[in-house]
């Protein structure tokens, strides 16, 4: 439990002030800096007209996106700093076989062995397609469509994208138990629109290139009539895409909660052999029902199985296997996949160097084992304590903000405060590290290692069924530069790696840090009260805790945000999807507002210092804009607006600021300025 929850608002705000003071002035106090980089700014652009370019304009004009990146910005730069640290830890593990029989030493050896298996290029080149021969033979051995269910179950376990997949998580309507969720998948382009938007010329060109890519993959798999098979596979994927729910529909937690008894699955989709699927997926006997996220998709898939020749399905599964495992095969496989996935879809000219890809593999396979090494070297205990203080302060500010809302009734406020009081912050790293003792990794078997690692993670999750909820589990690793909110556990999670520049700069006076890391903390808290998170209560159950009138008022505010962000077009002809990005936009707007409130609480009535000619509020809002500094390739932006619930950085910055009354006051924004919105059009929610 968070000790803040039983304290008063005053003592919590005080703790936050002390925490920031410790961060800013720890050990020997350096000269205060503004935390704002003037070299990134474009002095020719007024912040009142375009804050994103005023703060970042020169950086945008002079920065070249690295050849192995689809975009660049603070997240990518911090990742670039972290990867060599992880590489050194991994290479040390690879060189130093365990000097003892301790569990930690054995785990370090596994990390080293996995990385070494990836870096053994000579062996990988010599093997060609042989490492996936067993999987391809499994497909060739299929004689009837009844066996396709088993293929789906087996391939889902080893990380191959299948038409639907199993996910174990907390039951959204009974937070005391785990459930299996069956969710749609199975297409090789970023979103269904890439298949179905008939009039989009860019997507039409991608569809042609995708069929060529499928043909190349089938050729590498040893198929003789690859071009004809690729055409048939593409038609099948188009049918799968047509049956899929769009991403906005998938954001509705009530619509995607559909309990189906195991015995009733055959009624939903009679052409899928559910007994074979459940056996292969290792679900048989572990649960009496599943959650089917998109029932109409499963029906559409059933129709596709009934009407599509078995030969096409076999070719389809071969493309799925080869695409999934191409990164672990010889250069021809690697390059063929990258040219399409990396360059055609995302505009990235070059693949990452091999050692970086090796680090990614280790992170994805034994990530908490690597995280244990990372935390021991790069995340001292005092950093965790500092982040605890930051989070307590933002929670205190949120508590005050809810109390002062003018659009919400007292009954709903009480429920909101009760939910806020049960938030579970997780800072830095897990209290209990994951046990990898059952994971077998070998120095001379790369594809076998990947198969075993995928199976290990899948089985680890399936094994949760019937057991108590593990509230200490983490969804990302400590070395991940990110953060998240999980509504089912009502938790906010901040890994160790995010608490460093540019998101937190210990040399800077507090204001810019509130605008950066403070707004990120506020953002994650706000997800508990966005359009999706607000449908869960503090225990993680889907429950309407709102009065009808308050929910209507909330809906009116969110409609305005949908319209605002839907008007933004980062690439001509491709608009931000205001409905898809709604949750993130609520969190950005509310998170920054709460960060500003927390900053003012930290001042305890004293004026903020003026540094480099900038007031405290000016530095706070400019720090926020710095955090969303971003430059993207057009292809990547288009994929983002079609498939990602986050808007591009420019609109996360400018869109959010136009709704912040404090921004208008800080910079004297007035009618006629391009960043100006009339007060009645500004959206303030939390």
* pLDDT one-digit tens code per residue, 374-392: 999 999 887 788 788 889 9
Q: Cβ contacts of residue 99 below 8 Å, gap of 6+?
A: 105
Instruction: Point out the residues of the chain with pLDDT beneath 70.
Output: 1-31, 97-103
The whole-number pLDDT of residue 29 equals: 54
3-state secondary structure of 216: helix
DSSP 247: T
The per-residue pLDDT for range 107-161, each reduced to its tens digit, is: 999 999 999 999 999 999 999 999 999 999 999 999 999 999 999 999 999 999 9
Instruction: Yes or no: say if 505 and 486 are a contact pair by the CB < 8 Å rule.
Output: no
Separation between Cα atoms, residue 196 and residue 180, nearest integer Å: 30
CB atoms within 10 A of CB 461: 16
Q: Cβ contacts of residue 503 below 8 Å, gap of 6+?
A: 74, 78, 516, 517, 520, 627
Element (H, E) at 369: helix 354-378
The whole-number pLDDT of residue 25 equals: 35
Go through the chain and tell me how many residues it has. 686
Q: Cβ contacts of residue 328 below 8 Å, gap of 6+?
A: 118, 124, 131, 361, 446, 447, 450
Strand-pair category, 174-184 with 164-171: antiparallel
Separation between Cα atoms, residue 591 and residue 515, nearest integer Å: 9
- Pick the closest to residue 247 from 481, 630, 532 (CA basis): 532
Quote the Cα angle for 284-286-290, to 5°.
85
How is residue 39 written in tokens? 């070299």
Q: Which runs of E-coded beta strand occur in 221-323? A: 259-261, 289-292
Instruction: Yes or no: say if 483 and 492 are a contact pair by the CB < 8 Å rule.
Output: yes
3-state secondary structure of 492: strand
DSSP string across 133-196: HHHHHHHHT--SGGGHHHHHHHHHHTT---SEEEEEEEETTEEEEEEEEEEE---SSSSTHHHH
Separation between Cα atoms, residue 494 and residue 517, nearest integer Å: 10
């Amino acid at each position: 439990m968070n000790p803040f929850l039983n304290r008063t608002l005053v003592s919590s705000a005080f703790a936050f002030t002390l925490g920031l003071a410790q961060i800013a002035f720890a050990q020997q106090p350096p000269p205060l800096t503004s935390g704002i980089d003037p070299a990134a700014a474009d002095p020719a652009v007024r912040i009142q007209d375009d804050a994103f370019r005023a703060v970042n304009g020169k950086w945008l004009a002079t920065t070249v996106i690295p050849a192995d990146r689809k975009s660049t910005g603070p997240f990518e730069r911090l990742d670039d700093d972290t990867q060599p640290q992880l590489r050194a830890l991994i290479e040390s593990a690879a060189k130093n076989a365990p000097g003892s029989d301790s569990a930690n030493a054995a785990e370090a050896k596994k990390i080293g062995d996995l990385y070494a298996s990836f870096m053994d290029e000579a062996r990988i080149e010599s093997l060609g397609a042989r490492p996936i021969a067993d999987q391809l033979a499994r497909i060739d051995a299929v004689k009837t469509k009844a066996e396709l269910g088993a293929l789906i179950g087996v391939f889902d376990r080893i990380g191959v994208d299948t038409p639907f997949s199993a996910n174990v998580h907390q039951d959204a309507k009974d937070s005391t138990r785990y459930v299996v969720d069956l969710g749609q998948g199975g297409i090789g382009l970023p979103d269904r629109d890439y298949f179905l938007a008939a009039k989009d010329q860019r997507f039409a060109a991608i569809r042609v290139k995708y069929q060529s890519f499928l043909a190349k993959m089938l050729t590498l798999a040893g198929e003789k009539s690859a071009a004809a098979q690729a055409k048939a596979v593409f038609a099948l994927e188009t049918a799968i895409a047509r049956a899929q729910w769009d991403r906005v529909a998938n954001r509705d937690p009530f619509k995607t909660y559909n309990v189906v008894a195991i015995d009733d699955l055959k009624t939903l989709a009679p052409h899928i052999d559910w007994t074979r699927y459940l056996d292969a997926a290792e679900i048989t006997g572990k649960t009496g029902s599943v959650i089917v996220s998109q029932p109409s998709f499963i029906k559409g898939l059933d129709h596709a199985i009934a009407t599509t020749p078995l030969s096409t399905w076999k070719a389809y599964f071969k493309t799925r296997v080869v695409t999934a495992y191409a990164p672990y095969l010889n250069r021809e496989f690697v390059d063929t996949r990258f040219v399409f996935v990396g360059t055609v879809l995302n505009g990235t000219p070059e693949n990452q160097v091999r050692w970086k890809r090796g680090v990614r593999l280790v992170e994805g396979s034994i990530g908490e084992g690597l995280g244990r090494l990372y935390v021991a070297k790069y995340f001292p205990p005092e950093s965790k304590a500092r982040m605890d203080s930051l989070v307590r302060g933002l929670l205190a500010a949120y508590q005050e903000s809810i109390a002062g809302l003018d659009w919400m009734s007292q009954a709903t406020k009480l429920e909101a405060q009760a939910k806020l009081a049960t938030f579970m912050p997780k800072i830095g790293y897990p209290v209990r590290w994951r046990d990898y003792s059952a994971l077998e990794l070998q120095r001379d078997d790369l594809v076998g290692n990947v198969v075993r690692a995928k199976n290990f993670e899948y089985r680890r999750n399936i094994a949760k069924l019937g057991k108590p909820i593990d509230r200490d589990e983490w969804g990302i690793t400590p070395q991940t530069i990110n953060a998240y909110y999980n509504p089912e556990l009502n938790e906010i999670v901040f890994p160790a790696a995010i608490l460093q520049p540019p998101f937190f700069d210990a040399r800077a006076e507090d204001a810019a840090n509130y605008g950066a890391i403070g707004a990120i903390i506020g953002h994650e808290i706000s997800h508990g009260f966005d359009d999706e998170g607000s449908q869960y209560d503090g225990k993680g159950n889907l429950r309407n805790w709102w009065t009808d009138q308050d929910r209507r008022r909330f809906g009116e505010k969110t409609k305005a945000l949908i319209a605002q962000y839907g008007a933004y077009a980062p690439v001509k002809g491709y608009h931000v999807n205001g409905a898809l990005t709604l949750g993130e936009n609520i969190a950005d707007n509310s998170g920054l507002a709460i960060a500003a409130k927390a900053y003012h609480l930290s001042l305890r009535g004293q004026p903020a210092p003026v540094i480099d000619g900038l007031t405290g509020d000016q530095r706070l809002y400019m720090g926020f804009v710095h955090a969303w500094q971003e430059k993207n390739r057009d292809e990547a932006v288009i994929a983002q607006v079609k498939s990602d619930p986050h808007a591009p950085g420019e609109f996360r910055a400018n869109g959010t600021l136009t709704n912040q009354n404090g921004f208008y006051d800080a910079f004297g924004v007035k009618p006629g300025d391009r960043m100006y919105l009339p007060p009645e059009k500004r959206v303030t929610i939390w």
